[in-house]
């Protein structure tokens, strides 16, 4: 019945904020951060979630790890329903999904040795202690390319790239099925970025972990992901396999994003056809009618401001929400 | 490169010291009028300190221990604090990475732009506001009359960066220093800001020194590029030469570590092993030697000068002749 190959299943998930009267009077507008999204992530698959700041990608990540309750919809991790689960159940489910963030310096306790940091989830859950814990920590450090003797050091003794390795080791301690990577390399220098990307790919091959990779860097996305999801103002506008996504992007917003990313090649970059979006992302408290993108879309016609396009499947398997693409 | 035009800005042998270590060490480059020079490098390479030195904005712990910075006939390094204040904004301006942190949250953006204008020009408040309004229109802010009276918190990051550009350019300086101007912005907004900067260069003939770590931004906007590593210039070249025929192992490896269209998915990216040395680890030789696949005894013992490779292309490497070996490592 349940498809166990899916480590994540989202069904019609919505997350709204505000809209109630608060301490400072009526806060009025409802911010519709996430609006009816469906998504599946398969075992050992990497799915990229792409969009501008304010599109709802962080709210969605928080909802998946259980830091934010959705207003409606269903979130299943490895077949287990998160929404409405009791504490014990939730605790159980949570070990299957872990998260890493952009800035490793802010994710580590400066006063704990990294051995203690990596071992903490194992200790808290009573999975290992004493010598066994030490051995497991040493093993995790080796897995992420650090050395067992690093366990006694503190975060400040490491570089940014090494700290991100520590964060990854901690996230993997409980052997999760799904790792949510929120801009995991954008705070790192270019040469270090490549090391961390190589590590993530190697760990996936070795452990079969799935990634939901939140990023705005399309060159990184193209490198690491199997499928790409584009989000605009709380809704998915395009979902496609990596190859068809990059070879034949369909939604005008996707095409604008791609043309906005500067390529590291002066000839290609200066001769490419530019398709620069005018204006900025509208406020999620005041989402435009019809297709939310119509205010910035070069293809927009009358229907776009009136009727919201549904996600429909195209010949090459891509799913797109646009009247004209 | 600079042969046909007299340089507008020249940095000569700039050395900056923090706690006895040369964190910027003998940096020299020139920028011609209306050209864009990019300073590229990883964190800690000294690119930001170099740019702050141009405006006399070095942090208290840092000291310029040698070299000059000239803007036309003006020696920026010998100016009195009073003259330096006069030059800032009028001759040379700067914009930073985080626009919302650079603006005064308690003052309307109109007042901030007008204040910058009135610092250098004797005009009435009304005239200054009119000028500010014009400037907002020039940097592409819709509905400037309303925006003038808004506070920074009411504007988005991209909008705030346009305000910063307005403040920096309202007195028509000859040089704009842009320290990671688009790093904090979304790619769609980054594209808008880069286009705006290109338009201003074309219309006003402003020279730009842009500091960035993003090779894509460099490829988009720069005429010339200086790649910095651990406080020194590793390689300096016109933009196309740098990307298509890098002459320093560091540049070549840096370019190879950026994922490209032609890469197979999830294939191993080229990496640079190790990390940037801290100032107390600087040795006598090439500072990249410990991470360099070409490094020899000579590299560890002796600092390489910038060798001329022709066409304005210079590289600080003892083994330029062995560069083809790098392409094998990087491939």
Average pLDDT over residues B97-119: 93
Confidence of residue A284 (pLDDT cuts 50, 70, 90): confident
Mean pLDDT in chain A?
90
Q: How confident is the model at residue A100 (pLDDT cuts 50, 70, 90)?
A: very high
Determine the residue among A163, A210, A211, A280 to mutate to test chain B binding: the one whose Cβ has the most chain B Cβ atoms within 10 Å: A280
Mean pLDDT for all residues in chain B? 91
Mean pLDDT confidence for B20-32:
95
Query: What is the model's pLDDT at position A4?
Result: 57
Instruction: Examine residue B124 and state whether it is found in any structural domain, yes or no.
Output: yes
Predicted local distance difference test score (pLDDT) of residue B1: 46
Residues B117 and B131 sit within 8 Å (Cβ to Cβ)? yes
Q: Is the pTM of this model over 0.90?
A: no
Mean pLDDT of A184-202: 89
Instruction: Give residue B101's pLDDT band: very low, low, confident or very high (50, 70, 90).
Output: confident
Residue ranges of A 37-76 with Cβ closer than 8 A to chain B: 52-53
Confidence check on the interface: ipTM exceeds 0.85, yes or no: no
Helix segments in B205-319, DSSP class H: 215-221, 239-244, 249-256, 297-301
Nearest residue to A312 (alpha-carbon basis) of A324, A304, A303: A324
Which pLDDT band, with edges at 50, 70 and 90, does A24 fall under?
low
Q: How many angstroms separate the CA atoms of A224 and A201, rounded?
A: 7
Final residue belonging to a domain, choices B118, B142, B172: B172
* Contact yes or no for B213 and A190 at CB 8 A: yes
What is the pLDDT, as a whole number, of residue B330?
66
The reply to whether B324 falls in a domain is: yes
Q: Is A262 on the interface with B (CB under 8 A)?
A: yes
pLDDT tens digits for range A198-251? 999 999 999 999 999 998 888 889 999 999 999 999 999 999 999 999 999 999
The pLDDT value recorded for residue B119 is: 93
Nearest to A16 by CA among A75, A59, A57: A59
Residue B292: predicted pLDDT = 94
Q: Of residues B273 and A141, which shows the higher confidence score?
A: A141
Report d(CA A237, CA A309) in Å as an integer.
9
Q: What is the CATH number of domain A6-96+176-320?
A: 3.40.50.300
What residue numbers bound the domain in which B258 lies? 244-330
pLDDT, tens only, B294-305: 999 999 999 999
**pLDDT tens figures, A60-89:** 999 998 889 999 999 999 999 998 888 888
Residue B197 has pLDDT above 50, yes or no: yes
Tell which wins on pLDDT, B3 or A224: A224
pLDDT of A1 strictly over 50:
no
Q: How far is A302 from chain B (nearest CA, A)?
A: 23
Is residue B141 in some structural domain? Answer: yes
Select the residue of B187, B243, B271 nearest A191 (Cβ to Cβ).
B271
**H helices then E strands: how many in chain A?**
12, 14
> B192–A216: do the CB atoms touch at under 8 Å?
no
> Among B96, B116, B98, which Cα is nearest to B107's?
B116
B219/A269 CB distance under 8 A:
yes
Contacts of B52 (CB under 8 A, 6+ apart): B58, B59, B62, B94
pLDDT digits (tens, 9 = 90+) for B225-254: 999 999 999 999 999 999 999 999 999 999
Tell me what percent of the residues of chain A surpass a pLDDT of 70. 96
Domain spans of chain A?
A: 6-96+176-320
What's the number of domains chain B is made of? 2
Residues of B in contact with A266 (CB under 8 A): 218-220, 222, 239-240, 243
In a domain, residue B230? The reply is no
Distances (CA, A) of A74 to A66, A129, A181, B132: 12, 36, 21, 52
The residue-averaged pLDDT of B82-91 equals 92
pLDDT, residue A277, reads 83
Phi and psi angles of residue B234, each rounded to the nearest 5 degrees, phi first: -85, -40
Tell me which H or E stretch contains B138.
Answer: helix B125-138
Averaged pLDDT for residues A163-177: 95
* Rounded Cα distance, B237 and B214, in Å: 17
Q: How far is CA A297 from CA A237, A272, A280, B63, in A?
A: 13, 20, 11, 51
Does residue A310 sit in helix, strand or coil? coil
Q: What is the pLDDT of residue B311?
A: 92
Which chain B residues contact residue A224 at CB under 8 A? 265-266
pLDDT for residue A273:
81
- pLDDT tens-digit profile of B312-326? 999 999 999 999 988
Rounded mean pLDDT, B307-311? 94
Residue B54 has pLDDT above 50, yes or no: yes
Question: Of B116, B150, B172, which residue is a domain's last?
Answer: B172
Is the four-CA dihedral B233, B67, B16, B225 of positive or negative sign?
negative
| CA nearest neighbour of A175 among A143, A149, A220 | A143
Specify if B238 maps to a domain.
no
Residue A270 to residue B220, Cβ atoms within 8 A: yes
- Answer whether A198 touches B (CB < 8 Å): yes
Provide the 10 A C-beta neighbour count for residue B209.
26
Among candidate residues B172, B187, B203, the one where a domain is terminated: B172
pLDDT(B74) > 70: yes
| Residues in chain B within 8 Å Cβ distance of A246 | 261
């Amino acid at each position: 019945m349940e498809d166990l190959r899916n480590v994540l299943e989202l069904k019609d998930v919505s997350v709204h904020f505000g809209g109630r009267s608060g301490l400072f009077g009526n806060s009025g507008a409802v911010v519709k951060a996430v609006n009816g999204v469906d998504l599946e992530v398969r075992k050992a698959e990497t799915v990229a979630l792409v969009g501008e700041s304010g599109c709802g990608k962080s709210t969605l990540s928080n909802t998946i790890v259980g830091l934010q309750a959705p207003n409606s919809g269903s979130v299943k991790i490895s077949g287990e329903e998160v929404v409405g689960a009791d504490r014990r159940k939730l605790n159980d489910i949570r070990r299957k999904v872990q998260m890493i963030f952009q800035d490793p310096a802010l994710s580590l306790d400066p006063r704990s040795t990294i051995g203690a940091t990596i071992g903490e989830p194992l200790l808290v859950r009573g999975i290992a202690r004493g010598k066994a814990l030490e051995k497991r920590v040493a093993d995790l450090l080796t897995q992420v390319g650090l050395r067992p003797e690093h366990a006694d050091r503190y975060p400040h003794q490491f570089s940014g790239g090494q700290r991100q390795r520590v964060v990854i080791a901690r996230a993997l301690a409980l052997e999760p099925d799904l790792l949510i990577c929120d801009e995991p390399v954008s705070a790192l220098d270019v040469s270090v970025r490549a090391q961390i990307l190589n590590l993530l790919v190697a760990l996936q091959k070795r452990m079969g972990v799935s990634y939901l990779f939140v990023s705005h860097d399309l060159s990184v996305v193209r490198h690491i992901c199997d499928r790409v999801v584009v989000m605009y103002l709380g809704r998915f506008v395009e979902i496609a396999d990596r190859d068809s996504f990059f070879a034949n992007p369909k939604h005008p917003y996707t095409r604008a994003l791609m043309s906005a990313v500067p390529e590291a090649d002066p000839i290609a970059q200066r001769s490419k056809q530019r398709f620069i979006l005018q204006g900025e992302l509208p406020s999620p408290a005041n989402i435009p009618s019809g297709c939310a993108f119509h205010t910035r879309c070069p293809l927009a016609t009358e229907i776009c401001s009136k009727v919201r396009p549904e996600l429909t499947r195209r010949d090459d398997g891509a799913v797109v929400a646009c009247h004209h693409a | 490169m600079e042969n046909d035009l007299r340089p507008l800005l020249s940095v000569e042998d700039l050395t900056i010291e923090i706690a006895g270590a040369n964190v910027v060490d003998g940096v020299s480059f020139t920028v011609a009028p209306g050209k864009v020079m990019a300073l590229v490098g990883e964190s800690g390479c000294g690119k930001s300190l170099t740019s702050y030195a141009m405006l006399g904005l070095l942090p208290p712990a840092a000291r310029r221990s040698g070299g000059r910075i000239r803007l036309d006939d003006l020696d920026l390094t010998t100016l009195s604090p009073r003259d330096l204040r006069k030059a800032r904004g009028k001759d040379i301006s700067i914009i930073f990475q985080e626009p919302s942190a650079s603006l005064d949250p308690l003052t309307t953006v109109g007042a901030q732009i007008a204040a910058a204008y009135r610092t250098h020009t004797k005009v009435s408040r009304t005239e200054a506001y009119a000028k500010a309004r014009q400037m907002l229109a020039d940097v592409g802010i819709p509905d400037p009359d309303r925006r003038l009276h808004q506070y920074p918190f009411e504007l988005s990051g991209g909008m705030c960066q346009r305000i910063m550009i307005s403040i920096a350019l309202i007195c028509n300086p000859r040089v704009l220093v842009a320290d990671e101007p688009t790093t904090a912005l979304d790619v769609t907004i980054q594209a808008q800001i880069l286009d705006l900067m290109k338009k201003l260069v074309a219309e006003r003939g402003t020279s730009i020194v842009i500091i960035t770590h993003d090779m894509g931004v460099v490829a988009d906007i720069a005429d010339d590029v200086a790649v910095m590593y651990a406080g020194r210039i590793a390689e300096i070249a016109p933009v196309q030469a740098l990307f298509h025929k890098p002459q320093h192992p560091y540049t070549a490896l840096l370019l190879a570590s950026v994922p490209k269209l032609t890469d197979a998915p999830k294939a191993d990216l080229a990496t640079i092993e190790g990390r940037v040395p801290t100032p107390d680890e600087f040795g006598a030789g090439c500072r990249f030697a410990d991470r360099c696949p070409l490094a020899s005894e000579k590299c560890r013992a002796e600092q390489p000068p910038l060798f001329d490779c022709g066409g304005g292309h210079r590289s600080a490497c003892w083994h330029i002749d062995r560069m083809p070996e790098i392409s094998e490592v990087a491939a």
